[in-house]
Amino acid sequence: MGRPLGPRLTPRRPDGAAHGGAALGAVPPPGAYDPSMTVGRRVILLVEDEQSISRPLASALQREGFDTVIAASVAEARERLAEATPDLVLLDLMLPDGSGFDVLRHLRSAGDVPVVVLTARGEEADRIVGLELGADDYVVKPFSAREVAARIRAVLRRAARQRSHGSDSAIEIGGLRLDPGRHSVELDGEELELSRKEYDLLHRLMRDAGTVVTREQLIEDVWDMNWFGSTKTLDVHVSSLRRKLGDDPAHPRYIHTIRGVGFRFSSPDEARE
């Protein structure tokens, strides 16, 4: 699985810069329908300055059924994003004119395009910062194209599932209101800025308010089951969520830690002031 990408250079579209908006807005060709995806070919924006990675990865992803657009810098990524919104962004962090985190912040200020961060082995801090900034997942270099494609599919599936749950009715508990239809969360009437994962986590906990949700269940529902590092990631997200809710872990109004088991969101009665 950790096999690095070989130098196979057969990109159908050799130059990402040559096909910006037109490709992003392109109508999928007939026969490109992928039943698992419910619509045609998904467009992946690959932000990566190393051509020895981006080119073979782009062509491998094309063989896996995705369309790819390459951006080799923060500036180029912003240009491509201004032209059209991709279905997902694969994001390298070390770019010649800045950090991939700048692109991530830009993306999160503008919407919720799924983002998978490409990190170097051993750079755990990068992964945690990326996830706190709202990345959906990460892969560690060196990676195989198959591994990246699997992550992309998993992230797109979750995003689609989340959209299909968009008609759920709003949940209101003790001054906190989560509205899946608007994908918004308000605390005492003030809108909270949550990352996608923080939102998913909160939604999952609030749906079962008053009962314990196990760590395994949360990881399975909000992340991938087999996600390396997910245990720590869950704790990172719970603490950032608590911070945004102004919830004191020692005397929680909302999120209770059930040590060794999971978390429990307060029932409406409990959360009443």
Of residues 53 and 234, the one with the C-beta less far from Ca ion: 53
- Of residues 185 through 244, those in contact with Ca ion by CB under 5 A are none
Name the minimum Å distance from CB 49 to Ca ion: 5
Q: Which long-range contacts (CB under 8 A, 24 or more apart) does 166-174 make?
A: 171/203, 171/206, 171/207, 171/209, 172/268, 173/206, 173/209, 173/254, 173/265, 173/266, 173/267, 173/268, 173/271, 174/253, 174/254, 174/266, 174/268, 174/270, 174/271, 174/272, 174/273
Name the minimum Å distance from CB 50 to Ca ion: 5
Of residues 29 and 96, the one with the C-beta less far from Ca ion: 96
Task: Name the residue type at position 150.
Answer: A
Name the minimum Å distance from CB 243 to Ca ion: 31
Q: From the list 5, 24, 46, 49, which residue makes contact with Ca ion (rule: CB under 5 A)?
A: 49
Of residues 48 and 247, the one with the C-beta less far from Ca ion: 48
The CA distances from residue 28 to 41, 151, 264, in Å, are 6, 22, 44
Of residues 117 and 178, the one with the C-beta less far from Ca ion: 117
Binding region for Ca ion (CB under 5 A) out of 14-22, 48-56, 209-217, 235-243: 48-56
Name the minimum Å distance from CB 154 to Ca ion: 24
Task: Count CB-CB contacts under 10 A for residue 130.
Answer: 24
Binding region for Ca ion (CB under 5 A) out of 46-54, 120-128, 190-198, 225-233: 46-54
Our CA dihedral for 182, 188, 190, 192, rounded to 10 degrees, sits at: -60
Cβ(89)–Cβ(107) under 8 Å? yes
Name the minimum Å distance from CB 93 to Ca ion: 7
Give the residue at shortest CB distance from Ca ion: 94
- Of residues 74 through 103, those in contact with Ca ion by CB under 5 A are 92, 94
Q: Give the residue from 62, 5, 34, 8 showing the smallest Cα distance to 16.
A: 62
Name the minimum Å distance from CB 126 to Ca ion: 12
Binding region for Ca ion (CB under 5 A) out of 1-9, 45-53, 71-79, 143-151: 45-53
User: In this structure, what DSSP letter does residue 1 have?
Assistant: -
Question: If binding means CB under 5 A, how many residues of this protein chain bind Ca ion?
Answer: 3
Binding region for Ca ion (CB under 5 A) out of 49-57, 69-77, 81-89, 118-126: 49-57
Concatenate the DSSP letters of all residues of 157-184 into one string. Answer: HHHHHHHHGGGSPPEEETTEEEETTTTE
Cβ(193)–Cβ(182) under 8 Å? no
Name the minimum Å distance from CB 182 to Ca ion: 37
Backbone angles phi, psi at 182, to 5 degrees: -100, -5
Residues in contact with Ca ion by the rule CB under 5 A: 49, 92, 94
